[in-house]
């Protein structure tokens, strides 16, 4: 149901006085006049119709001779909890332009329902237009006039019907509502173009130092003089004069009404419209109130019963969307989206444009799997013109900038049907093979000539399920050196990317029930397949671990904490997806360290392979990297497949350490059939005499590299000839030993 902008409840003015203020040349002519005086109660006048909700075959509305406004009769209805209506006979307006409908109303204190006044152009078959609503306070215990402007569409129509319909409330079954002296008139009420001046913007919660204000707009085609006009809130008996002298408002001109023009200009110096300081500006309630605009004769030019739920708050005004739309429909009002919080004296930031297509909402009504995600997008033509050609761009807004970047586009659609003004279209898009995790999808509507780009986009969050085990806890630094940060490393064990936004890592609850929870939030955390992400307590990790300095910055997350609270004696870690799925869990202990490495302080625990079960301590070992950890990089003891035996190779071979920059060193590369061990590597001459020790009981993983520069332990250059390198290793976990050797030729360049 739509209400017309010219709602006028609580106009405390006797009609005789209004008529007396009119000049003879501007007197109203009655098309319909009904005082309910010529029939015997409770019958209705000929042609009048009523609903029959309370008793079958009995009219809900009926005439009465008690408590009338102009004796002997009035029309009465009881019970505010039922939807009941009263309709006029069909009115012939051919050759006529109906202007206003007026009535005198009275309600009891218990009749709490609103009464809407509606218009039909087909003899009462349908009532598509609302002229306004008689407010709850109008006629409370006394008769008061109410009047509404009649839509221009009624001009020249031969089958006009007016209807009064109760909008039921939960209480008020015993309440009564009376009407008397109903008139449908031609001509103006006071010679001014009252119907063309509307309340267009309301600032009821101004910022500090700013006074409350109301913006008026002349939407007509002729000048309007505001001399003698007044303003009020819910207390209509306390009207505040707008202008004592002539104030001519031209078509499309704005006028600002306030209690303090100097303060308003001081708080908003950019105002270019005329500002009028009213005689005692009404105090506007933040939770909702009435704003009534009265003409010189006391008629209601416009009336708004706003609510806080409509918009406007903390320095942001309430703006009218469609200047020709209803005044008392919440959908026609909204908060200003202007950067200044309001638009006094200029076009409303939310005003209806000629060409304006809006993205309204995005939903995910069907499948949402790793294979496909169903996306539903609704767009609406909020402009005045049809939208014949449009398109939609759908993107996965990874960087959260609300812009459809080329690399983020996941779908396009071209519109094939024209969208009429006010109509909506819902489109279905299939997102194939979405990345698991949390996503912020952004849809952008594209329309050539669109006059408002700010409403072209809409965003929505969707969770694509992550499979358990797809992300693993891969490395844990729980006992760092002094000044070294704790960290936990994650690895994407799958082949496709996963977004870890809103994933949570928590430890074991304390005896008091508290636990540490670290959540990835504020941006997308896209982890490619097979890659690593380090959650580091603070940024000092860059100093301690070279792998962090070499990593993709997006895969290094500083938790900005003094520590992660990981217990040195052992703890439990649980990784959950944004949807609450347990991706991995580890209950680590000091026994997980490699047995033959006695000092593990400052060395992380590393998972041998993401393919192995992280629950068992046998699948973990001590980091053998010299820095003590490899966050955001491949673990130092990681192996995909263990070699069958120990190997040792030299390259280049021969090499020539003569300082010319070519083949000056030999790199000895080795592999071992164990996850970790202690190694010793020595170089001997052909007679078996030791020449150089390259490694002496140092921790090692499955693979490694050592460099020989062709010198002995005293730094002297070795002679040209053949040498033998020998690798020895002992597996601390099982006590097994391994050995390998290779020939290294030291030569000279010719």
Q: What is the CATH number of the domain that holds 713?
A: 2.60.40.4070
CATH at residue 47: 2.60.120.260
Mean pLDDT throughout 531-538? Answer: 93
The CA-based angle 434-435-438, given to 5 degrees, is 105
In which domain, by residue range, is 331 found?
A: 194-335
Which of 170, 186, 202 is the endpoint of a domain? 186
State how many domains the chain has.
Answer: 5
Torsion-angle region of 209 (φ positive above 0: left; ψ -120 to 50: alpha; else: beta): left
Kind and range of the H or E run holding 301:
strand 300-307
Do 581 and 659 belong together in one domain? no
Which of 91-105, 527-541, 703-717 comes out lowest in average pLDDT? 91-105
Do 450 and 595 belong together in one domain? no
Confidence of residue 300 (pLDDT cuts 50, 70, 90): confident
Cα 745 versus chain centre, distance: 69
Q: Flag whether pLDDT at 17 surpasses 90.
A: no
Do 479 and 614 belong together in one domain? yes
In a domain, 2, yes or no: no
Do 481 and 594 belong together in one domain? yes
In a domain, 428, yes or no: yes
Backbone φ and ψ of 458, nearest 5°: -145, 140
The answer for residues whose C-beta is within 8 angstroms of residue 83's C-beta and 6 or more apart is 51, 53, 165, 166, 167, 168
In terms of DSSP bridges, do strands 333-335 and 318-320 run parallel, antiparallel, or are they unpaired? antiparallel
Confidence of residue 233 (pLDDT cuts 50, 70, 90): confident
Mean of the per-residue pLDDT values of the chain: 86
pLDDT in tens, 255-288: 999 999 999 999 999 899 999 998 888 889 999 9
In a domain, 344, yes or no: no
Mean pLDDT throughout 684-692? Answer: 92
pLDDT in tens, 205-219: 999 999 999 999 998
Do 20 and 132 belong together in one domain? yes
Torsion-angle region of 54 (φ positive above 0: left; ψ -120 to 50: alpha; else: beta): alpha
pLDDT in tens, 99-143: 889 899 999 989 989 999 999 998 999 998 888 888 887 777 888
Q: Which candidate, 191, 195, 188, 194, places its Cα nearest to that of 28? A: 188
In a domain, 582, yes or no: yes
In terms of DSSP bridges, do strands 62-64 and 213-218 run parallel, antiparallel, or are they unpaired? unpaired
Q: Flag whether pLDDT at 668 surpasses 80.
A: yes
Do 24 and 133 belong together in one domain? yes
Do 538 and 666 belong together in one domain? no
Do 423 and 480 belong together in one domain? no
In a domain, 605, yes or no: yes
Structure-derived torsion over alpha carbons of residues 425, 430, 436, 440, reported in degrees to the nearest 10 = -20
Task: State the pLDDT at residue 441.
Answer: 92
Q: Flag whether pLDDT at 604 surpasses 50.
A: yes
Q: Can you give the C-alpha Rg of the chain in angstroms?
A: 41
Do 384 and 509 belong together in one domain? no
In a domain, 641, yes or no: no
Confidence of residue 640 (pLDDT cuts 50, 70, 90): low
pLDDT in tens, 348-374: 999 989 899 999 999 998 888 888 999
Confidence of residue 562 (pLDDT cuts 50, 70, 90): low
Q: Flag whether pLDDT at 243 surpasses 90.
A: no
Name the β-bridge partners of 306: 289
In a domain, 633, yes or no: no
Mean pLDDT throughout 389-414? Answer: 85
Contact 276/205 with Cβ under 8 angstroms?
no
Do 457 and 477 belong together in one domain? no
Q: Which candidate, 88, 139, 87, 131, places its Cα nearest to that of 113? A: 139
Contact 503/576 with Cβ under 8 angstroms?
yes
Task: State the pLDDT at residue 2.
Answer: 35
CATH at residue 280: 2.60.40.1260
Which of 331-340, 459-468, 515-524 comes out lowest in average pLDDT? 515-524
Mean pLDDT throughout 36-60? Answer: 93
Q: Flag whether pLDDT at 24 surpasses 50.
A: no
Beta strands in 526-619, from DSSP E residues, in sequence order: 526-527, 532-536, 556-558, 571-576, 582-588, 605-607
Contact 387/355 with Cβ under 8 angstroms?
yes
Task: State the pLDDT at residue 682.
Answer: 96
Which of 186, 215, 250 is the endpoint of a domain? 186
Do 441 and 495 belong together in one domain? no
Do 612 and 690 belong together in one domain? no
In a domain, 394, yes or no: yes
CATH at residue 432: 2.60.40.10
Which of 588, 622, 656 is the endpoint of a domain? 622
Mean pLDDT throughout 306-313? Answer: 92
Beta strands in 108-196, from DSSP E residues, in sequence order: 114-120, 129-134, 144-149, 161-167, 176-186
Confidence of residue 733 (pLDDT cuts 50, 70, 90): low
């Amino acid at each position: 149901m739509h209400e017309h902008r010219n709602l006028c409840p609580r106009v405390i003015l006797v009609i005789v006085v209004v008529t007396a203020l009119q000049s003879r040349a501007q007197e109203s002519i009655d098309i319909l006049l009904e005082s309910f005086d010529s029939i015997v109660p409770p019958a209705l006048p000929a042609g009048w119709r009523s609903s029959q909700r309370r008793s079958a075959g009995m009219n809900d509305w009926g005439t009465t001779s008690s408590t009338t406004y102009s004796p002997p009769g009035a029309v009465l209805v009881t019970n505010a909890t039922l939807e009941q209506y009263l309709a006029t006979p069909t009115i012939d307006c051919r050759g006529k332009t109906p202007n206003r409908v007026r009535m005198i109303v009275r309600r009891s204190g218990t009749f709490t329902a609103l009464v809407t006044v509606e218009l039909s152009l087909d003899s009462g078959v349908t009532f598509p237009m609302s002229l306004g609503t008689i407010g709850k306070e109008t006629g409370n215990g006394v008769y008061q006039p109410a009047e509404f402007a009649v839509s221009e569409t009624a001009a020249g129509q031969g089958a006009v019907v007016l209807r009064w319909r109760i909008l039921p409330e939960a209480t008020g079954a015993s309440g009564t509502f009376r009407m008397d002296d109903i008139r449908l008139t031609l001509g103006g009420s006071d010679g001014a173009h009252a119907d063309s001046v509307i309340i267009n913007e309301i600032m009821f919660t101004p910022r500090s130092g700013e006074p409350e204000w109301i913006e008026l707009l002349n939407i007509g085609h002729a000048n309007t003089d505001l001399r003698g006009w007044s303003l009020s809130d819910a207390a209509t008996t306390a009207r505040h004069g707008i202008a004592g002298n002539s104030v001519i408002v031209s078509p499309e001109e704005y006028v600002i009404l306030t209690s303090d023009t100097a303060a308003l200009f001081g708080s908003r110096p950019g105002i270019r419209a005329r500002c009028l300081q009213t005689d005692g500006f009404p105090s506007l309630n933040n939770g909702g109130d009435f704003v009534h605009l009265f003409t010189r004769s006391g008629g209601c030019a416009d009336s708004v019963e706003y609510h806080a739920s409509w918009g406007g708050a903390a320095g942001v005004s309430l703006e009218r969307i469609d200047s020709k739309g209803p005044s008392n429909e919440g959908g026609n009002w909204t908060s200003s989206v202007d950067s200044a919080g309001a638009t006094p004296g200029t076009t409303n930031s939310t005003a209806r444009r000629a060409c304006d297509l809006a993205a309204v909402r995005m939903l995910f009504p069907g499948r949402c799997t790793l294979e496909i995600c169903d996306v539903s997008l609704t767009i609406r033509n909020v402009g005045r013109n049809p939208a014949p050609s449009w398109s939609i761009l759908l993107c996965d807004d990874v960087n959260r900038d609300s812009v459809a970047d080329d690399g983020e586009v996941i779908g396009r659609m071209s519109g094939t049907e024209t969208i009429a003004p006010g109509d909506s279209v819902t489109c279905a898009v299939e997102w194939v093979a979405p990345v698991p995790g949390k996503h912020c999808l952004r849809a952008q509507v594209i329309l050539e000539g669109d006059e408002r780009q700010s409403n072209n986009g809409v965003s929505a969050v969707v969770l694509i399920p992550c499979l358990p085990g797809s992300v693993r806890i891969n490395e844990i630094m729980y006992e760092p050196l002094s000044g070294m940060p704790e960290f936990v490393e994650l690895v994407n064990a799958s082949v496709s990317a996963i977004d870890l936004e809103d994933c949570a890592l928590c430890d074991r609850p304390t005896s008091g029930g508290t636990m540490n929870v670290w959540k990835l939030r504020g941006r997308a955390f896209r982890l490619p397949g097979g890659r690593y992400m380090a959650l580091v307590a603070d940024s000092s990790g860059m100093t301690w671990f070279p792998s962090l300095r070499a990593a993709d910055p997006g895969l290094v997350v500083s938790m900005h904490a003094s520590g992660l609270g990981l217990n040195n004696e052992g703890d439990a870690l649980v990784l959950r997806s944004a949807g609450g799925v347990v991706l991995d869990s580890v209950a680590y202990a000091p026994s997980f360290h490699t047995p033959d490495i006695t000092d593990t302080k400052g060395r992380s625990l590393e998972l041998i392979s993401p393919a192995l079960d992280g629950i068992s301590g046998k699948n973990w070992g001590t980091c053998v990297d010299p820095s003590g950890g490899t966050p955001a990089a491949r673990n130092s003891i990681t192996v995909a497949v263990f070699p069958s035996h120990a190997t040792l190779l030299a390259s280049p071979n021969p090499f020539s350490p003569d300082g010319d920059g070519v083949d000056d060193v030999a790199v000895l590369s080795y592999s071992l059939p164990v996850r970790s061990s202690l190694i010793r590597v020595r170089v001997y001459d052909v007679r078996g005499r030791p020449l150089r020790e390259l490694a002496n009981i140092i921790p090692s993983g499955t693979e490694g590299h050592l460099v020989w520069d062709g010198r002995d332990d005293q730094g002297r250059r070795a002679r040209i000839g053949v040498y033998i390198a020998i690798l020895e290793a002992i597996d601390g976990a099982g006590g097994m030993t391994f050995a390998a050797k290779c020939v290294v030729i030291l030569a000279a360049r010719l």
